[in-house]
Structure 1
Amino acid sequence: MTSLQIPARFNGPPGTGNGGYVAGLLAEQRDEPVVKVILRGPPPLDVPLRVRDGGLYDGDALVVDSVAGQFDTDAPAAVSYAAAAAARSEYQGNELFGQCFVCGTRRDDGLGIEAGAVGDGMVAAPWTPDGTVPIGAPLLWAAMDCPGGWSLPEMFERPAVLGSMTGSVLDLPALGEQCVVVGALREEQGRKGFTATAVYGEDGRLLCRSEQVWIRLGLS
């Protein structure tokens, strides 16, 4: 039986694991090219978690589950690095996610993926892997996480958390490669927001992609 632990560095909301990073950890335990990961509860940090039957368990409690997945839409279109860099200046963040490993503005050891608008329902951010985290599935899934959320309207005022993420890693970026992360809103249904994200390399190749379901907080 495999045991995994989420280091405190890789947090999302305060005190819990970043959904994309945790999803990537679990996805790389499977052989399928596309994996769907469902977050059943907040993944705890710095606690040994058991991997069993595709799920991640904290004691007897199922925290994260995974199954073979499939995509329902095309990946978001690529955006130029210059456009993504310009959009980053629009990113504001909020108090809830200020310390997030992926998008937090108060982190000096995070990914700094601060996605701003590049069109109707689309956001983008530049990202360059710096080698402080191994370049593999958990890092790529983490990079794909937050830009999907920031494509939701009024995300600053009505924040949402990741409910599920379906993803696939096609290629890995090189150390120091100038990448672009794109997020796109697909639709909203009540408290649920459906989004898609992708990471492109500096030569325009698609490195990875995902589809996500987000759950708004504090809404009936």
Structure 2
Amino acid sequence: MSGPGAGRPGAGPYAGRMDLNTGNGAPTITIPTGYNGPDGSGNGGYSAGLLAARLSTVGGPAVQVTLRTPPPLDHPLTVEDGSGPGLRLTDPDVTGKGHLVAEAETADLPEEPAVPGRPVAVAEAREAEDRYPGLVEHPFPRCYSCGPERAEGEGLRLFAGQVRAGQGPDEVGRTVACTWTPTPSVDDGSGHAAFHQVWAALDCPGGWSSDVVGRPAVLGRFTAQVLAAPRVGRTHVVMGHLHGVEGRKVRTGTTVHDEDGRMLAQAWATWITIAR
């Protein structure tokens, strides 16, 4: 869609790296193998979150990240100034198509709520996990965010099932939910989930509000804001909502709430369906 580590806090055994002093003076981002979405490329939310962290932080402005090509794994990518106020993530070993991996810029929030209506309670979100379609069939079963083949602590294991039905052939308006209890592997060192880990949590539950099994999709554009960091060891509710389907484009929203219903993070996504 997309166990405790020995390195720096907040990333577990697959720590994403931000090297600020490379040989040519440009900062780089490396997405380790364990943070994949589809096999062989970076989880969209996690990858976008690493770049977005150069422009915002917890409590800061929303950032819009556009993924131009599947982010490569275990390979230093260069962070560059964009043509405007934003940033570009490029692959220095590729020329032409594939050189530009992603673009990021701060953004205004969309007018439509990411997930309309009140958040569901923890108990309802936990019960909905039994209806997660990915438990039966999954196009990317080792996805860092939502893959059922990932062990506890080596993936977020966000299994969002339906809590509100949609309408029409595409079930627009469908809403899904699941629980998320951040483990020590995502701790940023303060007892809270790291910024880019929250972006990863905002990724796949939105996608699963659509028919991911019948129409697999990958993240194309992601606008997210982290209002407050989820606490490690506390149970949260993650919700996804299907806003619309237009050809190959699927528009969704995602929110993260604490156990009292307070919204901690929100995101709006455009997904691109792919051939199986």
Residue 89 of structure 1: SS of its match in structure 2?
helix
TM-score, normalised by the number of residues in structure 2: 0.76
Return the structure number with greater strand share.
1
Aligned counterpart in structure 1 of residue 114 of structure 2, from 62, 75, 80: 75
- Partners of 2:230 and 2:260 lie apart in 1 by 10
Quick one: distance in 1 between partners of 2:74 and 2:212? 29
In structure 2, distance between residues paired with 1:79 and 1:197: 13
Q: Residue 82 of structure 1 aligns to a residue in which SS?
A: helix
User: 2:220 matched to 1:181?
Assistant: no
Alignment TM-score, normalising by the size of structure 1:
0.95
- Taking the aligned partners of 2:274 and 2:29, their CA distance within structure 1 comes to 28
1:128 aligns with 2:181: yes
Q: Distance in 1 between matches of 2:150 and 2:114?
A: 29
Question: Is the aligned partner of 1:56 residue 2:101?
Answer: no
| Stretch moving more, 34-43 or 210-219 | 210-219
Secondary structure of the structure 2 residue equivalent to 1:132: helix
Deviation at 1:71, TM superposition (A): 2.2
* Structure 2: tracts of 5 or more residues without a match: 1-25, 82-86, 166-173, 188-192
Paired residues for 1:1-220 under 5 Å: 1-31=26-56, 33-53=61-81, 54-59=87-92, 61-72=99-110, 73-76=112-115, 77-93=118-134, 94-108=137-151, 109-120=154-165, 121-134=174-187, 135-152=193-210, 154-218=211-275
Structure 1 stretches lacking a partner, 5+ long: none
Amino acid at match of 2:48: A
**Identical amino acids, percent of aligned pairs:** 44
Contact 1:198–1:207 (Cα < 8 Å) also in 2: yes
CA contact (8 A) 2:242 2:251 kept: yes
2:257 aligned partner, one-letter code: Y
- 1:53-73 residue CA offsets vs partner (Å, 9 max, x unmatched): 111111151101111212221
Q: How far 1:175 sits from its partner (Å)?
A: 1.3
Task: Give the C-alpha shift of residue 203 in structure 1.
Answer: 2.1
Whether the aligned pair in 1 keeps the contact of 2:139 and 2:213 (CA below 8 Å) is no
Secondary structure of the 1:51 match is strand
User: Would the aligned equivalents of 1:14 and 1:96 in 2 still touch at CA under 8 Å?
Assistant: no
